[in-house]
Amino acid sequence: MRQVCWAFPAVLLVIGPGAASAQTVDAGRGGLPLHVPSGYDAAAPAPLIVLLHGYTSSGAGQDTYMQVSALKDAYGFILVAPDGTREAGGNRPRFWNASAACCNFGGSEVDDVAYLAGLIDAITADYAVDDKRVYLFGHSNGGFMSYRMAHEHGGAIAAIASLAGADQSRSRPAPPEPVHVLQIHGTADTVIPYEGGSLRGEAVPGAKAGVENWAAHNGCAAAGVDSGALDLDGGLDGRETDVRRYTDGCRPGGSAELWTIAGGGHVPALSAQFTRLVVEWLLGHPKP
């Protein structure tokens, strides 16, 4: 399972002009940069996106890869990209304690659900955040963590997007409140296989099965609808990504969607429009 490792280069946070760009937030693990749009107005609550890194990476590294903060001014959202805790040994990689499968390899008792819920509360206490537009966007281990938050804090989260992550490995009942779910997954992913498998002896559903499970959680009709194609992987030719939506009959505030990157790997070469399309999807799925 240690093949999950990858690393993104460290990044120097460059603070632009204006006080809004230099904000920080501390939810108990030290200060984090808080990316606030230049047009922020306390009289007009803004969406909040929480970006969750993959195993071994960091919040800054994940943003370097996905460039979410670069869109904050154009779309008017607040962004925070927190760090998971570090393992005790080796190179002390960061991880999220998301599920039995991924990626708490050292048996830590750290409560990342409480930390992330507290982080959201800390931001909403000091900034005007639209409580109907709080979103999580996670990669791999961060995707696992996003699903866990949707299960356990669905009342506060409008939608999640997961790239190369997976739902919890054990069956759970539907959360009390629906959550919009987007799974993005490459068919050539050898770390978290598209068709599913087993990690550390724990069953992990495939991308389609996981999305269908969330469609059921959200009360949607079992049959999804093919809805066109996108160009998400800059290393593959053409519109390589098929879109399948589960939106019929859903409870208000819930839906499910699968973007399948044909030939895509675990860390795809993101196209120029990848992050913009994900951000637009998130912002387009508020709570009712």
Give the start-to-end residue ranges of the domains of the chain: 20-283
- In tens, the pLDDT along 92-110 reads 999 999 998 999 999 999 9
Q: Which residues of 52-61 are buried (b: 16+ CB within 10 A; e: fewer)?
A: bbbbbbbbbb
Share of the chain above pLDDT 70, in %: 92
Segment 245-261, tens digit of pLDDT? 999 999 999 999 999 99
pLDDT band at 11 (very low <50, low <70, confident <90, very high): very low
Please write the tens of the pLDDT for every residue from 62-73: 999 999 999 999
DSSP string, 58-118: -HHHHHHHH--GGGHHHHT-EEE---PEEPSSTT--EE---BTTTB-TT-----HHHHHHH
Lowest mean pLDDT segment, chosen from 168-177, 179-188, 215-224: 168-177
112 phi, psi to nearest 5 deg: -75, -25
Listed residue (108, 266, 102) closest to 199, CA to CA: 102
- Asked if the peptide bond before residue 103 counts as cis, ω within 30 degrees of 0, the response is yes
> Is the per-residue pLDDT at 10 higher than 60?
no
The reported pLDDT for the residue numbered 239 is 98
pLDDT band, residue 169 (cuts 50/70/90): low
CATH architecture under which domain 20-283 falls: 3-Layer(aba) Sandwich (3.40)
CA distance 7 to 232: 21
The structure's pTM equals 0.92
CA distance 75 to 62: 19
Q: What average pLDDT score do residues 173-189 get?
A: 96
